[in-house]
Amino acid sequence: NAGVTQTPKFRVLKTGQSMTLLCAQDMNHEYMYWYRQDPGMGLRLIHYSVGEGTTAKGEVPDGYNVSRLKKQNFLLGLESAAPSQTSVYFCASSPVLAGETQYFGPGTRLLVL
Amino acid sequence: AQSVTQPDIHITVSEGASLELRCNYSYGATPYLFWYVQSPGQGLQLLLKYFSGDTLVQGIKGFEAEFKRSQSSFNLRKPSVHWSDAAEYFCAVASYDKVIFGPGTSLSVIP
């Protein structure tokens, strides 16, 4: 089992460019999440999904879009990147309820110039 | 609304000393509580969790945490810290569909 994987590991963008971060899990989990981590702010939830074909907004959704077309994949899109989106992005999944353990990917470092 | 506070941004302890990391939460119902650890450049790993029952919870790597409803606290403890425990520690509270993380406490260990 690979667990939760994230692609890419690191990316540099120019302001206004777009990109998609891919998260994949092989544990057949229903719930998937995207967080961003910034110094002193912990992890903040961007968007999440409670099942295939569903998405919902978290704490900081502005500037991001997500899709969950397949149960195992959760995509995070930045349509027009801004320097404020420079961060480390983590994907996580959990079996059913959010009260269950979340399993995290290794993270994607994004730098927006 | 749910929230989690971790009053200590950074803590330094000597190897072999005891450790307590503080966590306070705000949640209207019985909470699901977690402690996660993040080593440099890594994702988060679960240390322990509390759902119900015994208020003293044992976790991996010799960590334990105690749930105190009256104080809305879920403090993490370890009796003897090892150099490999140096990391970032996050407390979290969960509702039925999402988890809210605290800002984290960075732990440094002096050999």
| pLDDT at residue B75, rounded to an integer | 98
Among residues A46, A26, A28, the alpha carbon closest in space to that of A36 is found at A46
| pLDDT at residue B94, rounded to an integer | 87
**Alpha helix (H) residue ranges in chain A:** none
The pLDDT tens digits for A23-74 are 999 999 999 999 999 987 889 999 999 999 999 999 899 999 999 999 999 9
For residue B29, is pLDDT > 80? no
Q: How far is B83 from chain A (nearest CA, A)?
A: 22
Q: How far is A104 from chain B (nearest CA, A)?
A: 6
CA distance B9 to A84: 23
With a pLDDT cut of 90, the percent of chain A lying above it is 86
For residue B95, is pLDDT > 80? no
How confident is the prediction for chain A on average, in pLDDT?
Answer: 93
Do the chains contact at B104 and A42, CB–CB below 8 Å? Answer: yes
The H or E element containing residue A43 is strand A43-49
R_g of chain A computed on alpha carbons: 13
CA distance A3 to B104: 24
The pLDDT tens digits for B60-71 are 999 999 999 999
Do the chains contact at A106 and B100, CB–CB below 8 Å? Answer: no
ω before A106 within 30° of 0 (cis)?
no
Cβ(B2)–Cβ(B29) under 8 Å?
no
As a whole number, mean pLDDT of residues A83-100 equals 89
User: Which residues of chain B does A56 touch, with a Cβ-Cβ cutoff of 8 Å?
Assistant: 97
CB atoms within 10 A of CB A10: 10
With a pLDDT cut of 70, the percent of chain A lying above it is 98
Do the chains contact at B46 and A99, CB–CB below 8 Å? Answer: no
For residue A98, is pLDDT > 70? no
For residue B51, is pLDDT > 90? no
CA distance A51 to A54: 6
As a whole number, mean pLDDT of residues B39-60 equals 91
Option in A98, A101, A107 nearest B98 (CB): A98
| pLDDT at residue A85, rounded to an integer | 97
At A89, give phi and psi (nearest 5°): -110, 130
